[in-house]
Structure 1
């Protein structure tokens, strides 16, 4: 009997057919079981809508997710003084109504919320000139006021820096927008002169008003003044020392004016 004949007889034998059928059945059952297992652990076919959380407050999130098959995680807080503390300003993934993205059960929605305070490092301004100190504080979004103390050695320089009436060391982190008091040395107090009101004036008008009082220096800060036209259109939005009706300041004081083109109506 030839080899081909033996192979043909074996292929058509009952035992071979039983073995092949068993293997095929095992393969089919294994495929179905694997598909069922994968569907059960991956929640295949689920389509859960992602809620829109932008603008919601952190304190409301527990109630929003109560009974939901979704979870949330707050990644961090981002400084945003225009929003209430704890307002959701970012989410991932985006809401289904915006992105048309749907998720499965157990998905974690990642959030970022707003905070209205931010710590900023206060530099050491002792022995720095008044003008330099004002520029530095303004660049770091600190508010400040100036007080003067007779001093021959530190004429025009910062003698001490205070926060809430107490000395504060350079390198201390304080909430953004904190008011810092700078004690500046003056060789002599001189004649007291009124503080001019510069709010809403153009740069040239503000400079003229300061010069009209006499014995005052004028210092301008205008980050948005890029071109000459910007400088002509800009208006004073704040000043230091601040204008208070009836308040006086020492002769020789520098009036720092902060202008912006964004103040234009």
Structure 2
């Protein structure tokens, strides 16, 4: 026991006790806790996005980190079980045993409803397919007066109606109209006719007027069709929607606006 002979001795004893307590407190916070909790130590989060899940798991274990899958989605451009996102971000400082939250690409794509592409243009179909995470496949032109219009839609060779369930990321092939009919008929003869009557006849049969070339110095009356292409020869056939070029006598008239 401490022997106290004076007030000074009491103060000395109190100072010794305070020193002992201070040493114990500092030893606890600055020696014991850091050795058991790695206090003050941190490690950078590795880049694991783009890695396969098993590889990322091994990397995190080597650095005394853990992971937790908090989301999964499907991206047709990524491999199954590829890590899409991570939190914290690569390079951030964390303590050991920290949990890294990740999202993983699904192995099997989810099923979605086939959108309606029929009746729209190919460009419009491309925009719709992209918004649904579907891919544009082969474009096949088929006889139809609706030029560049989508007529049918296929997945893996089977025609798919709007609303049918298909896998997200599927390749969709399209049949589109080529602007021409599917039946042939003889080329109508319009040589010798006035150009306005010839135009009415051609349009009435589902044909289109192509180039009109005016020829001066002809002995025919102005406005008379001198030549046509394709020619109205025996056995010459044409389909609806095709163009017919005309050569017309006289000078082209420029219509003014009154």
TM interval, short-chain normalised: 0.3 to 0.5
Q: TM-score, normalised by structure 1?
A: 0.42
Q: TM-score, normalised by structure 2?
A: 0.43
User: Highest CA radius of gyration, 1 or 2?
Assistant: 2
Q: Which has the higher helix share?
A: 1
